[in-house]
Amino acid sequence: MTLKTWEEKLTDDYWNYRWHKIMEPLCETFQAWKAGKVSHTEVDKAVDKAYQEKYAINSLLSQRPDRAAALIHWWDPEWFEAWIEKNRPPDDANVQLIAQDT
């Protein structure tokens, strides 16, 4: 696997992970609203929170792939380290990034 492909897989997998963390609570809020368990004010707050989180992840993932990888490592080290265990980087990856203490 080339470095670019590896970085793309990292950012794609992270986007999917974060998308679930953003959307699942929002979907639960919508279902609770539909069932009459929460108010429209609570839905509004949940939508705003999801939007802010989506904006943050979009901003992170709009970086160059190598910079996005470093930011993911800094922003979410536990996820990053678990991902690295399953997706070893190619030889031309920035080894300092991978070995960096979190």
Tokens 């492909």, residue? 5
How far is the C-alpha of 74 from the C-alpha of 101, rounded, in Å?
10
pTM for the full model?
A: 0.81
Cα distance between residue 66 and residue 90, in whole Å: 13
Per DSSP, the three-state class of 51 is helix
Q: What are the tens digits of pLDDT across the range 11-29?
A: 999 999 999 999 999 999 9
Mark the ranges of the chain whose per-residue pLDDT is less than 50. 95, 99-102
Q: Which residues, at least 6 apart from 22, have a Cβ–Cβ distance to it below 8 Å?
A: 50, 53, 54, 57
Return the pLDDT at 77. Answer: 93
- In this prediction, residue 3 carries a pLDDT of 65
pLDDT of residue 89: 82
